[in-house]
């Protein structure tokens, strides 16, 4: 999303699916934009096991980056293409309810609980507003911020957020955009792509470290989506917009994950 030309191409490809009669819901994060916003505000980022600790001060800028900059940009581009986009976060209409995440880690053989601040996990999703927008020909564009029942805001992992939303609306297809062509048996060999994987195989693939690094949250989001109501999941290369338009062309695109 930091490359404006690529961003426009991706959204044009997504909107072409809408033109073909498919209902579309877009869920996004925006790590690079959060990083820039915090640097501009002279707020130091602290990462714990790869997770950004989010103080109340930082949370304000996280929301500004995700809702104000990234979400607003996506909505503007989609509208300019000729469709009707509505920008949301999980807070709108109490669509997504979150709770505080307490991170558990082991240090020197001892397990400890680490407070990540305003980092949250999803408790539940109410799809009513999303379905209302879809029923009126809008494209919901949702960023990964949610509140708890008391109104405290949380920054939620975008992949997990998307998986929960996909399950809640019983999406036929949950499509995860990343920067590789799919799940690779050998991360250094693009030709080793696994075209289809069953949920039952994922534990073994994790143990063998075929699923590792940044692919872990992508795969976990697919598990969440499938176990909570989505039809099937697919991981594709979002930097190749043509893969998006080929989703329904009966071609082998990315990695399909099925129950």
pLDDT at 105: 80
CA–CA separation, 75 and 141 (whole Å) = 7
pLDDT at 102: 85
Render the burial of 90-125: b for 16+ CB within 10 Å, e for the rest.
bbbeebbbbeebeeeeeeeeeeeeeebbbbbbbeeb
pLDDT at 214: 86
Architecture of domain 1-169: 3-Layer(aba) Sandwich (3.40)
pLDDT at 252: 87
State pLDDT tens for residues 120-150.
Answer: 999 999 999 999 999 999 999 999 999 999 9
Task: Assess if CATH 3.40.1160.10 describes domain 172-259.
Answer: yes
pLDDT at 202: 94
CA–CA separation, 251 and 47 (whole Å) = 40
pLDDT at 143: 98
pLDDT at 2: 82
Q: Where are the domains of the chain?
A: 1-169, 172-259
CB count in 10 Å sphere of residue 2: 10
Query: Which residues, at least 6 apart from 159, have a Cβ–Cβ distance to it below 8 Å?
Result: 29, 176, 217, 218, 220, 221
pLDDT at 188: 85
State pLDDT tens for residues 144-183.
Answer: 999 999 999 999 999 999 999 999 999 999 999 999 999 9
C-alpha distances in angstroms, 23 versus 3, 155, 233? 26, 26, 16
Interior CA angle at 186 toward 47 and 51, to 5°?
10
pLDDT at 20: 92
Q: Which residues of the chain have pLDDT under 70?
A: none
Examine domains 1-169 and 172-259 and report if their fold is the same: yes
Contact call for residues 141 and 92 (beta carbons, < 8 A)? no
pLDDT at 112: 85
Tracing tokens 């408790």 back to the chain, one arrives at 123
Contact call for residues 65 and 34 (beta carbons, < 8 A)? yes
β-bridge partners, 178: 237
Contact call for residues 155 and 118 (beta carbons, < 8 A)? yes
C-alpha distances in angstroms, 186 versus 108, 163, 220, 251? 31, 25, 19, 22
């Amino acid at each position: 999303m930091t490359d404006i030309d690529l961003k426009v191409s991706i959204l044009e490809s997504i909107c072409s699916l809408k033109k073909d009669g498919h209902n579309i819901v877009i869920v996004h994060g925006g790590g690079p934009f959060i990083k820039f916003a915090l640097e501009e505000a002279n707020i130091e980022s602290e990462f714990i096991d790869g997770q950004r600790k989010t103080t109340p001060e930082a949370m304000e800028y996280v929301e500004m980056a995700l809702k104000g900059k990234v979400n607003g940009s996506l909505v503007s581009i989609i509208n300019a293409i000729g469709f009707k986009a509505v920008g949301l976060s999980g807070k709108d209409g109490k669509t997504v309810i979150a709770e505080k995440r307490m991170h558990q880690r082991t240090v020197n053989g001892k397990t400890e609980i680490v407070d990540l601040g305003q980092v949250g996990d999803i408790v539940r999703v109410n799809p009513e507003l999303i379905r209302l927008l879809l029923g009126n020909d809008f494209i919901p564009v949702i960023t990964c911020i949610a509140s708890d029942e008391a109104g405290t805001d949380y920054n939620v992992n975008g992949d997990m957020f998307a998986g929960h939303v996909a399950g809640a609306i019983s999406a036929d297809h949950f499509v995860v955009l990343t920067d590789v062509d799919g799940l690779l048996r050998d991360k250094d060999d693009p030709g080793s792509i696994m075209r289809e994987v069953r949920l039952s195989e994922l534990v073994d693939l994790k143990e063998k470290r075929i699923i590792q690094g940044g692919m872990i949250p992508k795969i976990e989001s697919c598990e969440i989506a499938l176990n909570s109501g989505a039809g099937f999941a697919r991981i594709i290369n979002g930097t190749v917009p043509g893969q998006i338009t080929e989703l329904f062309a009966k071609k082998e695109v990315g990695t399909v994950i099925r129950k």
